[in-house]
Amino acid sequence: MKQSILTVLAKLDTYWTVIEAELSYVLADIDHVNAFQQRYGLYWEDCLTKLNKIKREKEALLRDIRLQMELFHLHVESGRVLVSKLETLQPLVQQQDGDTYAVVSKILAHAV
């Protein structure tokens, strides 16, 4: 199933928000477990290990999302520059009703 670029961006943004919130809870839990470990000893070591693993996983997901968002913005900007250049060289595209375009070409208009 193909998803539009806007759908993908919206989903990435939503996942970012959720994962970032989850990470804040994980970090708070790590602080609590560290306090418990200082108070009660190494009994909490397994819990701390699991929380640190979850932390690394969440941080990796956030890095992946950030990378994809940055790449998207980079490519969109490159596309805007190219469209601007093309419109300067030979204006071809006229917006009709928001999301559709008609191509105007002298060469194609007189083609047989």
Q: Where are the domains of the chain?
A: 5-109
pTM for this model (two decimals)? 0.75
Task: Dihedral sign for Cα 27, 33, 38, 44, please.
Answer: negative
What pLDDT shows up at residue 108?
Answer: 77
Nearest to 17 by CA among 53, 56, 69: 69
Model pLDDT for residues 61-99, shown as the tens digit of each residue:
999 999 999 999 899 989 989 988 887 877 666 666 666
Rounded to the nearest integer, the mean pLDDT of the chain is 88
Q: What percent of the chain stands above pLDDT 70?
A: 85
* Distance (Å, whole) CA 69 – CA 8: 10
